[in-house]
Amino acid sequence: DSGVTQTPKHLITATGQRVTLRCSPRSGDLSVYWYQQSLDQGLQFLIQYYNGEERAKGNILERFSAQQFPDLHSELNLSSLELGDSALYFCASSVGLADTQYFGPGTRLTVL
């Protein structure tokens, strides 16, 4: 158990809908990262927050947004969902900006 929690574990929704994924980092970690992993694909970095501020952006679509709250938990919002958004979404956390990342168990999103 890495100490990073993600909810929900599974999410099934329809095209055009909006969903919110939640992540709680390890105690003491200030950085949160979001990744997308499609079936049999590598990890695609989406975005990083550090102590409430956005610090880095990867291949994140405009339909996706994220934020980190004062208690350091983070939410990833996915809107106008498309079939191709079906994937595993992982959250990771680290102490600082560049430290070892610890991953949560992921949220499996299925868009029908």
Is-contact 45 35, C-beta < 8 A?
yes
Verify binding: residue 60, other proteins, rule CB under 8 A.
Answer: no
- What is the rounded distance in angstroms from the CA atom of residue 5 to the CA atom of residue 32? 12
Taking the least distance from each CB to other proteins, the nearer of 78 and 91 is 91
Please choose, out of 12-20, 43-51, 64-72, 73-81, the segment that lies near other proteins by the rule CB under 8 A: 43-51
CB of 51 to other proteins, least distance (A): 15
d(CA 43, CA 61): 15
Give whole-number Cα distances, 17 to 20, 53, 96, in Å.
Answer: 10, 27, 34
34: contact with other proteins by CB under 8 A: no
Applying CB under 8 A, among 42, 53, 62, 71 the residue interacting with other proteins is 42
Least Cβ distance, residue 44 to other proteins (angstroms):
8
Q: Which helix (H) or strand (E) holds 8?
A: none
- Report the amino acid identity of residue 45: F
Instruction: Using the Cα atoms of residue 69, residue 1, residue 111 and residue 44 in order, give the sign of their dihedral.
Output: positive
Q: Which of residues 84-103 bind other proteins (CB under 8 A)?
A: 88, 90, 92, 97-98, 100-103
Question: Under the rule (CB under 8 A), what is the footprint of other proteins?
Answer: 2, 4, 41-43, 45, 48, 56, 88, 90, 92, 97-98, 100-106, 108
